[in-house]
Amino acid sequence: MKAPKYNKSRIMKTAWNMFKAGKKYRNHVLTFAECMKEAWKEERTSYNKAMSMYQLFNMNKKQCESRDAKRNISTCSMAFMANTLTNYYANNRYNGD
């Protein structure tokens, strides 16, 4: 399994915004290191949420494909009408729709 890729720019921006806003936890103003920890925690939770949604999407897609395979549904094409259309527009002329 590949290592997750986190958006480090967003993490740093979040940490700096927390630090500049002077976010308080109980009666303690957070240091920059504590803001970084909180920003990393937020990024991990958002990544995990996105991955779980991606996995649900893939699982749903596979279920739909297997259901369609059981029903023997294939994509529709206009190839069956090719002969009819060439007869309708014979000699490349408009025949008055």
Query: What pLDDT digit, counting tens, does each position of 13-37 carry?
Result: 999 988 888 866 666 788 899 999 9
Residue 96: inside a domain, yes or no? Answer: no
- Domain range enclosing 31: 8-90
**Residue with more model confidence, 5 or 45:** 45
Which pTM was predicted?
A: 0.55
Q: Are 39 and 9 in contact (CB under 8 A)?
A: no
Cβ burial of 45 (10 Å; 0-12, 13-18, 19+) is exposed
Domain count of the fold of the chain: 1
59-87 pLDDT, tens digit each: 888 887 777 777 765 555 566 555 655 55
Residue 52: inside a domain, yes or no? Answer: yes
Residue 57: inside a domain, yes or no? Answer: yes
Residue 1: inside a domain, yes or no? Answer: no
